[in-house]
Amino acid sequence: MKQPIGFKRAFKKAEKIVNDKSKILDIISKGIDKAKINKKALQNVWEELHLLIELVRAWVKGEYKQPPWTFIVSVVAAIIYFLNPFDIIPDVIFGIGYMDDIAVIRFVINAFAKEINKFREWKNVARENLTNYGSD
């Protein structure tokens, strides 16, 4: 899949801030807020977007240590792109304003499908361990 227009710029911004965990948490928080407001427009990527945000949050907290650096930077870049209201297709254009945002999110999902599946597996094991821990 070809890299969407505008992703490269967002990736460069993400590279500059990915070591600043407080900035990443701020971006995640803003991404969640914007996603909630625009849930209907994002319905095609809603679950995946939340999974990506959850993954970065777990990485920031030091809970999930497996993702490659490029994957983390790409996810942060997708959120940065999503937060920009004046990207390739401005978000205010009713009906199509989020098409480019969805394309960027899909790009990251498709490019890192194996990594996303590894996170899902890790999350399921972590949840199972918590459940089993309480039943002893």
pLDDT tens digits for range 20-45: 999 999 999 999 998 998 888 889 89
- Number of structural domains found in the chain: 1
Q: What is the pTM of this model?
A: 0.85
User: How does DSSP classify residue 4?
Assistant: P
Query: pLDDT tens, 57-82?
Result: 999 999 999 899 999 999 999 999 99
Q: Is 93 inside a domain boundary?
A: yes
Q: State the distance between the two ends of the chain, measured CA to CA, in whole angstroms.
A: 47
Beta-carbon count within 10 A of 57 CB: 16
Q: Is 67 inside a domain boundary?
A: yes
d(CA 10, CA 81): 6
* Rounded to 5°, angle at Cα 127 from 114 and 43: 55
Q: Is 2 inside a domain boundary?
A: no
Enclosing domain of residue 56 = 7-134
109 neighbors 48 (Cβ within 8 angstroms)? yes
Q: Is 80 inside a domain boundary?
A: yes
